[in-house]
């Protein structure tokens, strides 16, 4: 993928935003992800926040701008520990997914839903939803309702992405869902001393950021 998709224009600002966003994401993923502090929160929030600014600068769809903006807000919450921050992040990302659903359903193409690979993708996402509900519900305690609501909304987001004639957006949505599935597994099903946490944290951030980046590029280039 060309990391400078706006290179043909006279205005270099979009590529500057893109480089800034990718740089912040790499800094967070490689250096700051395991050190909860203000710098971590700022860098993590900027990674997606700059994509929202890029979408606004290029006159992208308002639903995309808001989805990225609420995702950045969710990152700010989740950069801090505690159940209140987790709920704040959950609510922010739930709203972000609603805006992604709006973005995707405004690109209607019902015939695409009938393509075999897309049908397989829809069935796979619904199967993942059922499996995650089965595994998570006994473990989430008082968070049952917010977690259930979030999982339903992100599944709707994934299914709606299958009707979009933009392969990058579909791949991005799938990566976003995979990131959330790993995050839920890490938070509720993994022991604190599980050695796989080192790998899962890298996978969560990489899948999440690249997924958001691909969705943004799909609608901006």
Span 189-215, mean pLDDT?
88
Range with lowest mean pLDDT among 10-14, 210-214, 215-219: 10-14
Q: What is the pLDDT of residues 30-60, one digit of tens each?
A: 877 676 678 889 999 999 999 999 999 999 9
The model's pTM is 0.88
Q: What is the pLDDT of residues 66-99, one digit of tens each?
A: 999 999 999 999 888 888 898 999 999 999 999 9
Q: What is the pLDDT of residues 139-180, one digit of tens each?
A: 888 888 988 999 999 999 999 999 898 999 999 999 999 999
3-state SS track over the chain: CCCCCCCCCCCCHHHHHHHHHHHHHHHHHHHHCCCCCHHHHHHHHHHHHHHHHHHHHCCCCHHHHHHHHHHHHHHHHHCCCCHHHHHHHHHHHHHHHHHHHHHHHCCCCHHHHHCHHHHHHHHHHHHHHHHHHHHHCCCCHHHHHHHHHHHHHHHHHHHHHCCCCCHHHHHHHHHHHHHHHHHHHHHHCCCCCCCCHHHHHHHHHHHHHHHHHHHHHHHHC
């Amino acid at each position: 993928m060309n990391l400078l998709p706006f290179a043909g224009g006279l205005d270099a600002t979009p590529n500057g935003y893109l480089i800034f966003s990718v740089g912040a994401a790499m800094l967070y993923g490689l250096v700051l992800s395991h050190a909860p502090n203000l710098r971590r929160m700022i860098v993590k929030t900027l990674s997606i926040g700059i994509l929202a600014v890029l979408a606004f600068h290029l006159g992208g769809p308002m639903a995309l701008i808001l989805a990225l903006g609420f995702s950045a807000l969710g990152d700010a919450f989740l950069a801090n520990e505690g159940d209140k921050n987790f709920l704040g992040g959950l609510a922010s990302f739930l709203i972000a997914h609603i805006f992604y659903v709006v973005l995707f359903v405004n690109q209607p193409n019902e015939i695409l839903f009938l393509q075999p690979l897309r049908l397989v993708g829809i069935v796979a996402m619904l199967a993942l939803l059922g499996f995650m509900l089965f595994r998570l519900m006994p473990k989430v305690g008082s968070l049952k309702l917010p977690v259930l609501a979030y999982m339903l909304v992100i599944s709707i987001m994934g299914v709606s992405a299958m009707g979009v004639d933009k392969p990058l957006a579909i791949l991005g949505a799938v990566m976003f869902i995979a990131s959330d599935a790993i995050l839920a597994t890490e938070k509720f099903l993994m022991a604190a001393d599980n050695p796989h946490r080192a790998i899962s944290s890298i996978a969560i951030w990489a899948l999440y950021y690249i997924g958001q980046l691909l969705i943004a590029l799909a609608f901006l280039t």
